[in-house]
Structures are given as C-alpha cells and as structure tokens.
Structure 1
Amino acid sequence: MSVDPTAAPPAPEPEGQGREALELLYRFVAAIELTPTVAMHSTDREGIVRFWNNTCAELFGVPAHEALGRPLTSLGDHIDGGTDFGALIGSIWQTGHAPRPRDWRLVRRDGAERWVYSSHFPVNRNGAPQQVFCMEIDITGRKVDEAALMRSGANFRQLFARSTDAIVLIEGHNIIDANPAAAALFRCPGPQDMVGKTLLDFSPPVQPSGESSLARDAALAAQTFRDGNHRYEWRYQACDGHGFWAEVLLTSIALDHELLSYAVIRDISTRKSAEHTLATAAQVFENSRDAILITDQQYRVVAVNGAFTSITGFLSDEIVGVPVPGLRSGAHEPAFYQQIWDYVVAHEHWEGEVWSNRKNGEQYPVWVALTAIRDSANRICNYMAILTDITDRKRVEERTRHLAEHDFLTDLPNRVLFLDRLHQAIASAHRKNTKVAVMFLDLDRFKFINDTYGHQAGDLVLKEVALRLTRCVREVDTVSRQGGDEFVIILADIGGVDQAAHVAGSVMAAIAQINKVGEHDISLSVSIGISICPSDGEDADTLLKHADVAMYHAKQRGRDAFQFFSPEMNAHVIERVQIENNLRHALANGEFVLEYQPEVNIASGRIIAVEALIRWRHPERGLLQPVQFLRVAEECGLIVPIGEWVLRQACARARRWRDEGFPVVVAVNLSPLQFIHNNLVHSVDDALRRSGLEPDFLDLEITESVIMNGNETTVTTVNALRERGVQLTIDDFGTGYSSLSNLRRFPLSKLKIDRSFVHDITRDPADAAIIPAIIAVARSLKLRVIAEGVETAEQLQFLRMHGCDEYQGDYAGRASIDPDLTTRRR
C-alpha cells in the first residue's frame, strides 16, 4: 500500500448506508481489541488461522505472530464427550449455517486446560462461506462454580438464596420458587410474583430464530430430563416489558425425593449485542466492495478482505505478515510515507489520493482512508486502511474536464481553455521577449449554409473547418471555437507580424477549398482580424477585443480578407458602441421623429401616398439620417421596438390627415428582422386598432431579400397581412436576386424601382433598358409600379412614356416632418 497526504483534497464523507457501513467497520476493528473477554479468530477452508486477536493469545497461550498462517488444531484441542470439533467446523463449510453456541474443554499447546463457550459463524460472499469466525469466552471459573454447586446439595438452599445468578426451581413446567436475583433479573416486585408461572410466561411467542417458544421449550425440557442438564440461550421479556437475552443452564435434580429441575439464568444481552455487531461487521468486512486491510502496530498486515485480492491481485497468504510499504508504487518519495503514519498517530485519521501497485506491476490510483485503532488503554494497537480503486472515477473526471474545456462539436479548446492558454502564451512571450498573435476568424455568410443545406450540413462544415485550421498551425499554437462560426487562433512565440500574415494567408487558402457535404459542393471564405502582443495590448481581454475589432473591419471591407488592428478601427468601434448605448435610451426619451415623402400618381399629378421616414434628433449630434443608426439598431436587436413605434406613429398621422379631409396611404418600411419577427402581424393589428386607420390605407414595404429567402412562415405572414387589407410593396426592386416564381407566391400590391436605376436613365442606355423590363415584369404580375429617386422632369417624362404608375423623390417634394399635402403638386 502507498499513501500521500498531499496528493489530493479529502473526498467528501460517505453518506447514508455507505457511511453507516464504514462506521460499522471502525467499530468492528475496535471491538476486537477493546473486548478483552472475547477471544476472536478466523480460519479458512483449510483450517489455517487468518485472524488472531490479543485475547486469543492469552486464552491459547500463543502470540499472534506464531498463530497466523498455522492450522488451528496445532494451537490447542477442543474436546467434548461426544462431538468432534473438526466435524463441527466441516458442517459449517458444507451448509453455510452457524451451529448453536456451546461449551468446549480446551487443552492448550502447553497442556493447560480451559473451559470455553464458543460461537461460530461463517462469513459468506456470493452465497458461499469464505471464512469461519469464532468468538470464545473463558468460562473456566463458572464451570468450577457449577461443579461446586452440584457437590453441595446440603447447602443448596443457602446457595440458592445468596446466589448472584438468577435461579428458579421448576416442577413440571411451573416455577415453584425463585431467588431474589431471579426477581431482579425479571424485574418483578419479588420472588413470590414469579411462583406459579412458567418460564414461557416470560417469553415472547416466537424466538428471534423464528421458532415457536412453546415448541422449543418442550424440546429443551425433554432433552434436559433425558440428559440431566442442558445449556441454551433464550430471549425473555421481563415483567415491565423489557426484553433481554439470557443463557440458561437447565438441570434435573432430586430434592427431598422429588424430581425437579432448576434453571440458572444469566443476562447475556451485552454479549449478544456484541456478537451481532461483530457478526454483521464481519460480513460487511468480507463483502465490502472496497479493499480493507488491517495492520498491527509495526504496520504488518494481519487481515485483508476478499475485495483486497480482487483489486490488488495479492492473495491473503501473500500479504499477511508483509509490511504495508511493500505495496508502494514508487510514484512517491519514500520519506513521505512516514509522514502519513505520523499524521495518523497525531490525528487518528487520514484520507488522500495516491498511486499503488497491483500484483502484476500495474500502477493505479487509489483513495485511502487510514484510521488508527486504540485499545482499552488508549494505545494504538492496529491500523485499518480502506482502499478504493478510483481508476474509473479518474477516467470520468478526466473526461468531464475535457468536456468542460473543449467544444462539443469540433473538440477544439473552448473559451475557458483558450483564455488559460492565452495567459500562458503572454507570460511566455514576456519571458522570451517574443510576440503573440491573436487571430479572430468569422466564416462569411455561414447563415446561408445553415438556411440552405440545413444545420446538420452546417455542423459538418464546422468540423471540417476545425480540422483545416489545426493543420495550418504548429503544435504550440491553439485553435479554439468560441461559438457559432467564430474561431480564434493563438500564435505563440512568433517573431513578428509577417509570420502572422503568412498564417492568415494559409488559413484563407485552406478555408477556400471546396467542402463536399453529401451531394453538395460548398464554398467558404473567412474574415480574419489580428492583434499583436505587446503592441496591440498586453492582456488577454484587450488582445481578444482588438482582434474582434479588426475582424469587424475586414467584414466591412468586403469579407474574405484579413486585417490587422489599428487605433483608428478602435475609435470607429467605440463610436458604434456609443450609438448603440444612446439608441437604447432614444425611444424612451422621445428622440425619434418621422418625416413624410410624397408619392405622386404620374397620370393625375396628385399625392396619393406618403412614405414615413424615421429621423433621430440626437441631443448632441443633431438630426441623424437612417443610414447613421438603423444598421446599428438591427445589429443590437432594437429595430423591432423602433419599427413598432414607427407603425403606430405613421398610422396615427394618416388617420388625422384622413379626418382633416386628406385621405392618403402611408407607406412604412419593414426591416427583414422586423418582418420575420413573430409579433409583426400583432404589431400591425395593434397600430391599426389604436389609430382607427382602415387597413387599405397602410402600405408595408418589404425588401427583395425577404422575398428571396421566403419560407412557409414568410408566406403565411404575407397572406395574413393581405387578408386584413394591408397593401404590400416590394422595395428596392432590381438590387436583389428574386425570381418570378418567388414573386408569384406572394400577394403583393406594388413594385418599387430602386433609385440606382432611375438616376442615369436619361444618360445610360443600360439603365434605360432595365426600366421597361421591370415595368413589364410588374405588369405580368398585375402590380402597380412606383419609381423612387426622381429628381428631374426628364426622368419623370421617361417613366411616363414607359407606363410607370407613381414616383417619389425630390422632384415630387422633399420629405418634411409635417407636409402640407394640399400644396404638393407637379
């Protein structure tokens, strides 16, 4: 055995039945030495002594070191008039049942004789006896007293009255006399209260063995009158209901020419309790799944259980008598083992995780609980060690630790392990005067892969990306997945930025290779941001933040690129963060306003609709246009509440115009994020209900990307809005990739030509050709057409010639916060 007090923190104390079993074992070992009147030994199937306590040494006259490993019959003879001791032990091994306790005359090896009262019981495991334990009590003195009693019939009455043992005289089955000790034992007011009763009156109907008290009493009485006397154990119940165990010597006698019997009764409750505790503890000892080892004061093994052999491979014969250090694994310094023994002497107990050796030389981790056992003089007489093989637990702990530090999908280090390694890389760079690069990677348009091919395909792509990234770096570098499609690489101990740029190029080339997922060939690109320690930061958080900022700028520059961090980038990000923070308060502070741009019918020149355009009256920067803040609002999730506010305000204003005699349709732009929001239909219903505006006076403008990526949920939402009578316009048509088949799925009202096609229609033949084509598409779908960005009379004339229905732009009138619709004419 080997143990280490510094190896690991103590394990939590066992709870429930496990803790009770452990405490029972402690009591078992202590009881063996703290009960000097009980000699206890055990033998195996060959009759070899495997355990021998100090009282055995006194009773047999043989010390433990001479008894262990020798046949019990060589240490003394158990003699009885008609029963062979060897046959008795053989029946235990054959049946697995314990015989009733009985008296034996013991002839010691030195020729001295003793009378002993012996209790034998087998210790079974898996239904088969493993050892036979024997507890023997020296009753030589009592035998002498009994013999004297039998020889002194003339003085029987005097002995009867003065005896400290309970004695009752029995005629037939009835008690005809009882001495004071009997009345005290049975807790009766006096001896006369027992006269006329039988011993069965003080017995429960059924004995603990399950036998009927009446049947067993009759059999014992018959045997006593046949043999003259008989000794047995009995469970009694005193007059006050108190139960106790007693040893009964029932003897037939002739007194005054009458055939009587007398019973000498002694309370053995304490011994029976000890026997039960010892027997139970011995069973626990032998059947415990943990290895249990008991040593003497010199750390020599005196007993082991079956689990010790199962776990270590050492047989009992090979280990008993061997010093515990013989089990050391060599994994610990020799001096430290003595520290453990010294600790146990001072503190009674030690627990810890150490390494030990199996018989085949294999090293394995074991949890050791080492306890000192003291005798009645408070001297350490034994040590008990409980050894638990924690190989499986260590394997589970290692697996749990791996799962806690690695990404479940790619098995790359996660953020926790990444930060730990980054701290180590920074510390190493400081010592060696080298640099560390942090590369923040984000796959470009990865959401498109998930939406098009499914998340399972997306997961396969992420796994392949992880493999490619690990092939691009050295063993000392770290590739980590931060979540989603974001990865981070630590390049440790590099010489300069050129090395980081080279790795970034290799990564981009590796990612660009075609990914084959099933039948699909998937192309990828990646945007990379790079920060360098120490120039861009000297702590993990700063380096990671600056790499993220650089990646953001790589995205803005068109993706599929890498970008080193610069202070200017950081200033831009700080500005964006400030906008986001201010946006979160703008709605509550009433800082948003709406401007309305007219939409004019080309044929009549009348204003038939207005488009609501949001503006932000920033308290410090003045009036901000949508391009300055809407993208940030979308990225931080504020576009939905802002969009709901625009809906309510625009509907309310259109209703007031209608009440004033100017019924115009109000057009409201929807962000793609707002459109797919689950509450869009509810938000529209709420705005119409609050304002009282009829649904056909509300025109919702949706982008071409919504149509292009439209799924069944999108179709359901569009249909729900059209069923309410709300008009729907596809905005910025021509800038996306929608098809006629997609457009046919949606019940649209109007198509808006993007301003980029209108701007040069009088100068660019290509743009001039596109306009009639778009109008033709709209006509085929039975949609009205509106052109935005009209600034000149020439542009308006071109649109009128080709059948465009409506227009908006500076030529129709600039947007204003509260336009006078009656004066808007062209």
Structure 2
Amino acid sequence: MSKLLPDSPGRPAADPSGGGVQAFDWLYHFVTALELAPAVAVHSMDRAGIIRFWNHASEELYGIPSGDAVGRAFRDLVFHLDRQSEFEDVIATIWRTGQAPQASDWLVQSMTGRRHWVYSCHYPVKHDDVMHEVFCMEIDITARKEAETNLEQAAQVFQNARDAIIMMDAEYRVRAVNGAFTAITGHAPEQIIGQPLASLGWGVDDDFYQRIWTGLEGADHWEGELASARSNGQRYPVRVTLTAIRDAHGDVSSYMAMLSDISERKRIEEQVRHQAEHDALTGLPNRILFLDRLHQALATWRRHGSSSAVMFLDLDKFKAVNDTHGHQAGDIVLREVALRVRACVRQVDTISRLGGDEFVVLLADIKGADQAAHVALAVTQAVALPIDIGGQEVTLSASIGIALCPDDGAEVDTLLHHADVAMYHAKQNGRGSFQFFSPAMNAHVIERVELENRLRQALDGKEFMLQYQPAIEVATGRVTSVEALLRWRHPQRGLLLPHEFLPVAEDSGLIIPIGEWVLRAACQRARAWRHAGAAVAVAVNLSDAQLEHDGLLPAIDAALEGAGLPPDALELEIAEDALIRGEPAFADTALALRARGVRLSIDRFGTGLSSLEALRRFPLTTVKIDRSYVGDVGHDPVDAAMVPAIIAVARSLQLRVVGEGVETAEQLDFLRRHGCDDYQGFYASAASTRPNLSPHRAWYMRP
C-alpha cells in the first residue's frame, strides 16, 4: 500500500478535533478495499513501467505473489499476446495525454504460463495535476470469451452444417433454420418460420406425428427415415433426428430437428442392391433374386391357388461360340438372348441368368400348360434367329425344360430340379425344343446319375476294354488300319456298347478322361502289333467334346510318345456332323495334327448336310462312307448312285475311301467295281480283342 501513494512530508493527517477525514484518508481506505477485492485484479505502474501495487486478485489471476511483482517491470511479468506493442502504445498515450482510454479486452499470459482473457481499464493517477502512476483494473473474462467463442462456433456450425437444422419452440413451431435447410428443401426461411414442423409435408398422418412427439417426451430423442417434399413438389428421402432441449428445471423449452438428404445414399444402396441381385452382363435378375421371386410365387399359390411355371433354358453348343469367336462374342450372344427372351414374356414374369449359358424363367399366375408352351415356343423361335456378333452371324438353338406348379412340385428346389431334368430331355430329343417334366423323366435321370457314378468307378477300376475291327484293302485283302472300339465290362449288365453309356459320359464330362484312356490303350496296342511285325495304323474315334477340348493335342502327343509310335501310325476318326459342328474351332487343331503326320478321316460320310464343304475345309486323309449307303447299294438306286459319286469326289481330292458296314460279297464287289480303296464290316471281320492282321485274301476271293 505504501508503494501506491507518494511518501510526502506534506501528507495530510487526521484532524485532531475529530472533525472528519482529510483529503487523502479516503484514498487509503480505497486502496485497502482494492487490496482485498476478490474479483478485480488491480495493479499500478510508474512511468518506467515498474509495478508499484499488486493486489491479491492480481496474484490469483497471474500466479505471481505481490512480493515478486512489486518493483519489477510489468512487461517482464505479463505479455499481451499478439498485441504487446499496442498495449505499450496505450500506456504511452496515457502518460502523454493524461487521459484514460476506452476499456478493452486483452489476451494475456503471465511469466508462469497462465493465459487469460481480461477486461482492462487504465486510469492515470494524478496529484496536483501531476501524473504519478497508471492504475489498471482487470476482470478475468476467459469464461465469457470461451462462451462467446462456443456460441460463435455453434452459430457457424448452425449456418455451415451440410444437414438442415430446424430450431422449434416447445409447441413445435419453427423459430430458426440454417442455410442448408433452404438448399435441401427449397423453402426460404420466411416460408417456414412460425409454421409447425408438419408443414414440411413428410407424407405421414397425424397419428405418426403424435407417436414421434410422445417418444420425444419419454426419450428426448427420435430418429428415422421419411419421405419429404421439396418446395417444387419433388419427393426425396430424408433422415430425421429430433432432439428435445430442456431448461434448468427439466422442462422442454425447445426442439431441434436435423434433416439429412439421403438421396445419394439411397441411390448407392439401390445400386449395391441391384448389383447383388442382378447379373452384371445381361442386367437380368440373378439366382438370389430369382429364388426370392419364386418363393413369392409359391406363397401366392398357397394363399390364392394361382399356378406358375419354371422354365429352364440352356443354349445348345454355346461353348463353340466362345472357342471360335472369343468370349467377347459370347457376351454379345448372351446379352442378345436375354433381350429376346425378355421380349417373349410379360412384365410380371421373371427372367434370370444363373450363370454361363443357363437361363431360368418364372411364369407367374398362368392359366395352364398351354400358356407355358406358347411362351417356350416363342423363346425357341426367337433364340434361333441369327445373331450379329460384329460383322458375322452365329445361329444357336435353345433347349427348354418346363416344370409346373403345383403339378410338378410346390417347393423351390423341386421345381428347379424338375425343370432342369426336362431341359436335359429336350437336349436329348434333338435340341432346339422344349419338354414338360414327367415322373418318368425323373426315374430316367436317377438311372443316368447312377450310371454316371458307375462310369467313374469303371474308369478307376479298369473295366473298359477295346475291341478292334480291321479295314481291308479291296484290291489286295491287306489290313490297312484297325479301328479301336470301346467296350465296358459292366459287373452287373455285362458287355456294354458305346451307345449305352457314352451319352452319359459326354454330358458328365467323363468323355475326356475316357477318350484319353482310349488313345493311350490303342497306341500301346499298335506298338505291340508293330513289334510282332504288323505295322498297321490304329484308328480312334473322337467325340464332340474331345474336338472342343483344349487338351486334345497334348493328349495325342502324350499317347504317341508314351507308346513310341510315329504319328502316321494313328488315325483319328471324326463323325461328319461332329466335324461340322466343331468347325472352325477344330480347324486349327486339324492343321496341327496333319502337320505332325497324324491321319484324319471323316466317319459316316454323307449323313450330314455339309459333306462336300467338310471335305474342302479340313486336311483329311480318308473318307468313310456311312453304312446306311453301303448296305442298300444292291436294292436302292439312290444309294447305288450316291456311293460311286462319293468315291469319285474323294478320289478327285486325293482322299482314301473306306466303305463301312460291308456284310455281303455283293456289297464288296460293288465297292471294288467303283474304285473304293478299303472296306470294313462283318464280311471281313467282327470286332475282336485279338484281330486277325494277316491278309484277308479268302474274303476277297469269295464269290
């Protein structure tokens, strides 16, 4: 306190008569009050900036005891952050003018590291019009500043939030909205302020609103998705969060609503859902969505008795399109087929691509089998039309199986299985057709499944065997080649011929390992004949599946190498229709085989529609005339004319000609007279595991 007032010999003293307090006494009482003021930091400094007075509140504010502050420069104890020079200018102005400046806010930090916002008032202290000190009174306003900052930040959040924010009173009337509200809804603030929240048009009834408000009263919070309307009437999805705000007494004073436009989220969700339920290539429903639709159709049948049909569709020989023209062309075909099938059904029906070239159709609420047959016929006709794959045309067919609900089943798996079974029978009946399911088909399928399982065991258990039938040169009786014929020694059914099990092997894919076994076994046998002095070629039949298989060339190379046979000791027989179906995918393979020296013959020549074209396009060595022509040369004038014509064409192309199915001397003589090179059939030799490879002059000499 002694540092606050000047030490002067002329300092007034109390009146001895008790007449009152001299002029300076009030100041001492005031200083005492400042010293003890709990909320106001008071300090003073002289012209040099040295602290003369430092009250208890200053100690609390800055964390510096009075004893450490008094006598030191103020600038060494307290820093006016970012505005130090401005503060020094204020103090200098007070000393220069003797006037008190306007109070202001300062952000300060003491030497102890404490940081505060203070509200400061600076006053000059004069005596006899002479300034002695600058008096500073400061109030800590940090809490207020933080509250202001929070309020400003809240205002910025309110205005800059991406979500629409609506403030309401306790009666749900709108009191304030932010900028996002107008951007999202299209409503100007003046259109909604003072209106009830329900005026936004969320498309719900009063009961729904009542449930929301009731929920708010209990939980102070409600959240959900609604359909709202913009000012132009456009509907859009919105996520709404409602919060009740309570006052200090616990009473609801206001409500806050936050609206999030979730149109983009819904669009993405719909896109993801669509991708999860639809085929990416064709855009058709996939298996997941189809099964859901089928479940719904069955539920409808149980409730109302309405019938439906499941159609299983498989493209015939689609793999050849991929192999010949590439997968891009295959994709074009699949998309076009999807469009064509869709055009054949109603809007309420469901078409699905299960994968590969398999499609399934659900015909809902049909009147009977005739309606399903009409659709199936339309689909087969539509699919059979040529498809442009970029300058080229391909023609396919579709095999369709149909199962009816409830006649053929009332469960999802049953209907799909029965439709699949019927589709298989459609393929067996010539492809490009449709079949309705029947119980007999199912029994047949069961039998085929059992046969397929038994075939796998047969391959592992060495139950297959080869019989051989020689081809005889007409002119000399010499054996020119021996055809290997596959047989199956079935443990229960005895010796089975190829037509009794090869269709199952082809459908199951077992034809590939079985065919590779035939190649290996036939080449090994040919090697044994060569070691015994009979250097004849062995002929092996190739199936459609082998022609299309990528592993055909490696399998042939391995069989020849394993047996140590030269390539010209192997002749591959290909049925004419299989050759035409496999073209042009097989063309490169055929060229590669001929380059190796392997001989190629066309079997059952004359039974297809493009026989002469096949002779021109493939590097063949031999033509085998089908037994259906040879067998009737003595009775049918057409066959009697066809056989010489085929021989003439083949010879003009420098191809060797073999007549198949020769059973009589008359047939052999006919072939000999018309220049046929070789013959094959029971007249010469039946198929045998040990064929006679010596010259067959006795047969030739028969009358």
Distance apart, 1:365 and its partner CA: 3.4
Residue correspondence of structure 1 range 100-179 to structure 2 within 5 A: 152=27, 155-156=30-31, 159-160=34-35, 163-171=38-46, 174-176=49-51, 178-179=54-55
Q: Which amino acid aligns with 2:501?
A: F
My pick for the range that moved more, 156-165 or 533-542, is 156-165
Give 1:490's aligned residue: 363
Q: Which amino acid aligns with 1:606?
A: R
CA distance, structure 2, for counterparts of residue 309 and residue 155 of structure 1: 59
CA distance, structure 2, for counterparts of residue 780 and residue 289 of structure 1: 86
Give the alignment partner of residue 510 of structure 2, picking from 611, 626, 638.
Answer: 638
Give the alignment partner of residue 167 of structure 2, picking from 294, 300, 324.
Answer: 294
Measured against aligned partners, the alpha-carbon deviations of 1:708-758 in whole angstroms (never above 9, x if no partner) come to: 356676443333333333333333322234465654454333333333322
CA distance, structure 2, for counterparts of residue 170 and residue 332 of structure 1: 71
Task: Provide the secondary structure at the position in 2 that maps to 1:587.
Answer: helix
CA distance, structure 2, for counterparts of residue 639 and residue 278 of structure 1: 81
CA distance, structure 2, for counterparts of residue 203 and residue 646 of structure 1: 101
Give the alignment partner of residue 751 of structure 1, picking from 623, 645, 655.
Answer: 623
Give the alignment partner of residue 669 of structure 2, picking from 797, 801, 819.
Answer: 797
Alignment length (residue pairs) = 662
Residue correspondence of structure 1 range 244-393 to structure 2 within 5 A: 244-249=115-120, 251-254=122-125, 259-329=132-202, 331-359=203-231, 364-391=236-263, 393=265
- CA contact 1:229–1:249 (8 Å) conserved in 2: no
My pick for the range that moved more, 159-168 or 782-791, is 159-168
Change (3 A) 1:189 1:552: same
CA distance, structure 1, for counterparts of residue 552 and residue 29 of structure 2: 115
Measured against aligned partners, the alpha-carbon deviations of 1:670-726 in whole angstroms (never above 9, x if no partner) come to: 223322322322223333333333333222333435653566764433333333333
Task: Provide the secondary structure at the position in 1 that maps to 2:344.
Answer: helix
Residue correspondence of structure 1 range 157-236 to structure 2 within 5 A: 159-160=34-35, 163-171=38-46, 174-176=49-51, 178-179=54-55, 181-187=57-63, 192=68, 196=72, 198-199=74-75, 203=79, 212-222=82-92, 225=95, 226=97, 227-236=99-108
- CA contact 2:333–2:387 (8 Å) conserved in 1: no
Measured against aligned partners, the alpha-carbon deviations of 1:311-367 in whole angstroms (never above 9, x if no partner) come to: 3343333433333234344x4332232221222232332211123454566654322
- CA contact 2:35–2:56 (8 Å) conserved in 1: no
Distance apart, 1:385 and its partner CA: 0.9
Give the alignment partner of residue 593 of structure 2, picking from 721, 739, 758.
Answer: 721
RMSD value over aligned CA atoms?
A: 4.2
Residue correspondence of structure 1 range 730-769 to structure 2 within 5 A: 730-738=602-610, 743-769=615-641
CA distance, structure 2, for counterparts of residue 587 and residue 195 of structure 1: 111
Task: State whether structure 2 residue 573 is matched by structure 1 residue 698.
Answer: no
Task: Provide the secondary structure at the position in 2 that maps to 1:641.
Answer: helix
Task: Provide the secondary structure at the position in 2 that maps to 1:388.
Answer: strand
Distance apart, 1:291 and its partner CA: 1.4
Give 1:534's aligned residue: 406
CA distance, structure 2, for counterparts of residue 553 and residue 493 of structure 1: 23
Change (3 A) 1:787 1:538: same
Change (3 A) 1:185 1:687: farther
Measured against aligned partners, the alpha-carbon deviations of 1:136-183 in whole angstroms (never above 9, x if no partner) come to: xxxxxxxxxxxxxxx856643662476555445444575535455545
Percent identity over the alignment is 47
Distance apart, 1:292 and its partner CA: 0.8
Distance apart, 1:512 and its partner CA: 9.2
Q: Which amino acid aligns with 1:689?
A: E
Change (3 A) 1:662 1:167: farther
Change (3 A) 1:200 1:318: farther
Give the alignment partner of residue 340 of structure 2, picking from 465, 479, 482.
Answer: 465
Task: Provide the secondary structure at the position in 2 that maps to 1:366.
Answer: strand
- CA contact 1:512–1:524 (8 Å) conserved in 2: yes
Give 1:587's aligned residue: 459
- CA contact 2:344–2:375 (8 Å) conserved in 1: no
Distance apart, 1:228 and its partner CA: 1.8
Give 2:497's aligned residue: 625
Task: Provide the secondary structure at the position in 2 that maps to 1:811.
Answer: coil
Q: Which amino acid aligns with 2:606?
A: G
Task: Provide the secondary structure at the position in 2 that maps to 1:321.
Answer: coil
Change (3 A) 1:683 1:574: same
CA distance, structure 2, for counterparts of residue 243 and residue 642 of structure 1: 91
Q: Which amino acid aligns with 1:249?
A: S
Q: Which amino acid aligns with 2:122?
A: T
Give the alignment partner of residue 349 of structure 2, picking from 478, 481, 488.
Answer: 478
Give 1:19's aligned residue: none
Task: State whether structure 2 residue 378 is matched by structure 1 residue 507.
Answer: yes
Give 2:680's aligned residue: 808
CA distance, structure 1, for counterparts of residue 542 and residue 387 of structure 2: 37
- CA contact 1:244–1:267 (8 Å) conserved in 2: no
- CA contact 2:281–2:335 (8 Å) conserved in 1: no
5+ residue gaps, structure 2, are 1-25
Give 1:20's aligned residue: none
- CA contact 2:384–2:398 (8 Å) conserved in 1: no
Distance apart, 1:525 and its partner CA: 7.0
Change (3 A) 1:699 1:271: farther
CA distance, structure 2, for counterparts of residue 197 and residue 581 of structure 1: 104
CA distance, structure 1, for counterparts of residue 94 and residue 494 of structure 2: 118
Q: Which amino acid aligns with 1:306?
A: G
CA distance, structure 2, for counterparts of residue 588 and residue 237 of structure 1: 92
Give 1:572's aligned residue: 444
Task: Name the TM-score, length of structure 2 as normaliser.
Answer: 0.80
Q: Which amino acid aligns with 1:681?
A: L
Distance apart, 1:293 and its partner CA: 0.8
Distance apart, 1:377 and its partner CA: 4.7
Change (3 A) 1:169 1:516: same
Distance apart, 1:566 and its partner CA: 2.0
My pick for the range that moved more, 381-390 or 401-410, is 401-410
Task: Provide the secondary structure at the position in 1 that maps to 2:176.
Answer: strand
Task: Name the TM-score, length of structure 1 as normaliser.
Answer: 0.69
Change (3 A) 1:153 1:292: farther
CA distance, structure 2, for counterparts of residue 731 and residue 509 of structure 1: 31
Give the alignment partner of residue 774 of structure 1, picking from 640, 646, 649.
Answer: 646
CA distance, structure 2, for counterparts of residue 604 and residue 802 of structure 1: 15
Distance apart, 1:769 and its partner CA: 2.5
Change (3 A) 1:255 1:219: closer
Task: Provide the secondary structure at the position in 2 that maps to 1:669.
Answer: strand
Distance apart, 1:569 and its partner CA: 1.8
CA distance, structure 2, for counterparts of residue 427 and residue 630 of structure 1: 42
Distance apart, 1:295 and its partner CA: 1.7
CA distance, structure 2, for counterparts of residue 247 and residue 301 of structure 1: 38
Give 1:655's aligned residue: 527
Distance apart, 1:245 and its partner CA: 3.4
CA distance, structure 2, for counterparts of residue 696 and residue 560 of structure 1: 39
Task: Provide the secondary structure at the position in 2 that maps to 1:701.
Answer: strand
CA distance, structure 2, for counterparts of residue 776 and residue 581 of structure 1: 47
Measured against aligned partners, the alpha-carbon deviations of 1:494-514 in whole angstroms (never above 9, x if no partner) come to: 2x545655x458737974997
CA distance, structure 2, for counterparts of residue 181 and residue 818 of structure 1: 124
Change (3 A) 1:273 1:770: farther
My pick for the range that moved more, 800-809 or 442-451, is 442-451
Task: Provide the secondary structure at the position in 2 that maps to 1:688.
Answer: helix
Distance apart, 1:247 and its partner CA: 1.4
Measured against aligned partners, the alpha-carbon deviations of 1:349-394 in whole angstroms (never above 9, x if no partner) come to: 2211123454566654322111223344554333211112344555
Task: Provide the secondary structure at the position in 1 that maps to 2:204.
Answer: coil
- CA contact 2:281–2:331 (8 Å) conserved in 1: no
Measured against aligned partners, the alpha-carbon deviations of 1:455-492 in whole angstroms (never above 9, x if no partner) come to: 5874675366335423xx6x7x5252445474525251
